[in-house]
Chains A and B, each alone.
Chain A
Amino acid sequence: MRLLTHNMLSCNRKGVSNGFPLGIEASKLEVKEVDFNSDFLRHIYPKIEWKAFVDAAKSLGLNDLPEHVDDSMLEDDDFLHSFHHALLEVHLEEGALICPETGRRFPVNRGIPNMLLNEDEV
């Protein structure tokens, strides 16, 4: 699972009012190189919840992203490369995602998060 996916996931368990962003517990990471494509980054950037993304990156040990961004940074090559790496190249292979409100854990196995809820949670 890439942080791009993490940025789209939230806990929708019954009664949870704000299940975003999910915390990350990482036990195995993998880095898979992806062709750098600045257009993709510029297009996806407005859809990213930046704070959630930066915090998630930190929990994976990626500390070189700025806390705040503005559009002008999308012209900065160094910034784009850090953004690219954290968003698309680092994969959470094993671990868990954790609901910020209830602590409910969603396992990540073989790189795939499992967002299924039990019957009594929906």
Chain B
Amino acid sequence: MDFVVEVEAISRPLNINLFCNKKSETSSYDRKIAEIRLVARHPEVYEPCEDSYAIVDALLADRAQLLELQPKLCVEVGSGSGYVITSLALLLNGLDSVHFLATDINQTAAETTSRTLNNHAVKADVVVADLLSGLENRCRGCVDVLLFNPPYVPTPEDEVGVKGITCSWAGGLRGRSVIDRMLRIVNTLMSEKGLFYLVTVSENQPVEICHLMKRAGFASCIAIQRSTEEEVLQVLKFWRQDDEV
């Protein structure tokens, strides 16, 4: 009996989520994540890849928790094509009081994010910023869901932040340059109940990242780990833990 109940519970959303087919065109309201064919593209902008799918899968798996959290402000840093923030907005569709915000350091990426959001009729704000520059002051302690799929590939330090597509992957020493700058501001940004999802690869030393965050008062887990042909990807998840020293 238990078994039957479980299968039902899982298979129903799956039909809608993963096989976005003709059916979902007629009932766009049921769509749970962004549709690849509606994701805007540009040669200077990172296209959805394994890492993008991994973070969206982590969000899908956490959908119940995210809905229960009733987030007021959800932010994606480095939104690129817009695939991830659009998916988050669609999978939180049931909540009607959420403010979605996306940033990217690349103007063309910000415009592409904006097009993808429009294509899915999702309302969100897009800002060209270095991480959350210009937004940090007013976002302090307010971010309930924070997403970052950073430039994580280990490269020489001087490739970090180079204009265009390079800055979507070039991560400097151990791929940690941009990640570490982000980690330093997470504590001031997150609300009490906030969740932070971060994509890493093994070269970034995810366990060390978790230790660093623990010192700032965050518990963590590896929400997803996946091996692709080129890399071993993780999606790390962080939340505040008061009772820890």
Interface residues of A (CB under 8 A from B): 1-2, 4-5, 7-12, 19-20, 34, 37, 39-40, 43-44, 47, 49, 88, 106, 109-117
Contacts and interface: CB of A to CB of B under 8 A. Distances in A.
A83 B99 CA distance: 16
A39 B97 contact: yes
B138 interface: yes
B96 A10 contact: no
A49 B138 CA distance: 10
Contacts of B101: 5, 8
Interface of B: 72, 96-97, 99, 101, 105, 107, 110-111, 114, 123, 125-130, 133-139, 142
Nearest to A106: B134
A4 B134 contact: no
Identify the 10 closest CB pairs spanning chains A and B, nearest first: A115-B134, A43-B97, A5-B125, A114-B128, A8-B138, A115-B129, A10-B137, A40-B97, A112-B110, A9-B134
Contacts of B135: 8-9, 115
A111 B125 CA distance: 9
A116 B105 contact: yes
B interface majority secondary structure: mixed
A114 B103 CA distance: 10
B240 to A, nearest CB: 20
Contacts of A37: 96-97
A106 B135 CA distance: 13
A110 B133 contact: no
Overall SS of chain A's interface: loop
A116 B142 contact: no
A5 B138 contact: no
A8 B139 contact: yes
A64 B142 CA distance: 29
Contacts of A7: 138
A109 to B, nearest CB: 8
Given A4-B99, A115-B128, A116-B105, A10 B111 contact: no
A5 B127 contact: yes
A117 B99 contact: no
A51 B45 CA distance: 38
B97 A117 contact: no
Nearest to A8: B138
6 contacts: A7-B138, A39-B97, A44-B72, A112-B110, A113-B134, A116-B133
Nearest to B73: A47
Contacts of B111: 110, 112
Contact of B125 (A1, A20, A44, A109): A1
Contacts of B133: 12, 115-117
Contacts of B136: 12
A53 to B, nearest CB: 12
Contacts of A106: 134
Contacts of A5: 101, 125, 127
B80 to A, nearest CB: 14
A37 B99 CA distance: 13
